[in-house]
Amino acid sequence: MPFPSEETVRDTVILGSGCSGLTAAIYTARANLKPLVIEGHEPGGQLSITTLVENFPGWPDGVQGPELVENMRKQAEKFGAEMEMGHLVEADLSKSPIELNFGSKVVKTRTLIVASGASARWLGLPSEQALIGHGVSSCATCDGFFFSGKEICVIGGGDSAMEEAMFLTRFATKVYLIHRSASFRASKIMLDRAKEHPQIEFLTNTVVEEVLGVEEKEVRGIRIRNTESGEVREIALSGFFLGIGHIPNAKFFEGQMDLDDDGYIRSKDNVFTTYNGKVLDGVFCAGDVQDRRYRQAITASGSGCMAALEVEKYLEEHGR
């Protein structure tokens, strides 16, 4: 069915301004769809809090995360994308056009790309937050390389922590795996592999009280406490990796979209959204909000491109 041709109805709105949202914006803007990009609480997404990115193709000397995302933003704006800060208050995905209420205004749109990302879970210690990008990282694939020949720790007891710890042994001479209890969520095979690794030392029933190095502006060590014995001690190390999971920013769509048990969008073909198993009309998704597995800047960008191409196809099929 053709859409109403009201000028007030947008062709596409993109929720999120990380690399998936901005790549979708570049593609839809170049297709002359004048996308509106809504920047949420973390403009630029996870890249905006990283430092050097060395694995984004096309940057042989690496690029700072904030610079990479700022360039994407400029590129999208150059082709006519509009950026606005906003927080969704209410959305009705069943309507056509879709209605998005941002409190100060209601936006009507023929298509929506949900690219709201996932946020790494942090311990929440002030010292940890102060040292993000200076030895504290939530992404081993991104930052492991910087810790060649150094000692580091990984926090967590799930598959992510095991995978990170194993990966980081390629660079670090020693990896402390620190877990708050003695039972693990990690699959047996991954846990056994990590336990058998000569460079990994497990410290269970252990919590981190502080990341040391705030004054020096780089991680120098950690202060930990054994929850059984109460013993407190310090360990000197240079890297502090979080492997305690991610929180997808999709909770808002609960009840209107199929989400998995951890709150990730259950995408179909990595780009379509569904509700009760049925594809949602005009609602697409991209990036980490629907990807628990790869979580890389380049895969998020790739998926933003896919969503944009589907939006173009959808609008064309509906007579735009």
- Active site members: 139, 142-143
Interaction between residue 291 and ligand NDP (CB under 6 A): no
Binding ligand NDP by CB under 6 A: which of 21, 44, 144, 157?
A: 157
Binding ligand NDP by CB under 6 A: which of 39, 159, 291, 310?
A: 159
Alpha-carbon span 58 to 68, nearest angstrom? 11
Could you say which DSSP state residue 35 is in? P
* Count of residues near ligand NDP by CB under 6 A: 16
Tell me how far, at minimum, the Cβ of 16 lies from ligand NDP, in Å.
21
Interacting residues of 52 by C-beta distance below 8 A, sequence separation 6+ = 62, 63, 64, 65, 146
Instruction: Tell me how far CA of residue 40 lies from CA of 88, 155, 318, in angstroms.
Output: 9, 28, 29
Alpha-carbon span 126 to 134, nearest angstrom? 14
Chain residue whose CB lies nearest ligand NDP: 158
Which H or E element spans position 242?
strand 239-242
Here the tokens at position 111 are 């298509």
Q: Which is nearer to ligand NDP, 17 or 46 (CB)?
A: 46
C-alpha 1: how far from chain center: 35
Tell me how far, at minimum, the Cβ of 191 lies from ligand NDP, in Å.
10
Interaction between residue 310 and ligand NDP (CB under 6 A): no
**Contact of 24 with 44, CB cutoff 8 Å:** no
Interaction between residue 180 and ligand NDP (CB under 6 A): yes
Q: Which is nearer to ligand NDP, 74 or 251 (CB)?
A: 251
Alpha-carbon span 161 to 159, nearest angstrom? 5
Interaction between residue 158 and ligand NDP (CB under 6 A): yes
Asked whether the CA dihedral 189, 190, 192, 197 is positive or negative, the reply is positive
**Closest among 248, 245, 282, 281 to 266, alpha carbons compared:** 248
Tell me how far, at minimum, the Cβ of 181 lies from ligand NDP, in Å.
4
Of 112-131, which residues contact ligand NDP (CB under 6 A)? Answer: 121, 123
Interaction between residue 195 and ligand NDP (CB under 6 A): no
Q: Which is nearer to ligand NDP, 74 or 170 (CB)?
A: 170
Question: Which residues are at the interface with ligand NDP (CB under 6 A)?
Answer: 121, 123, 155-161, 163, 180-181, 185, 244-245, 292
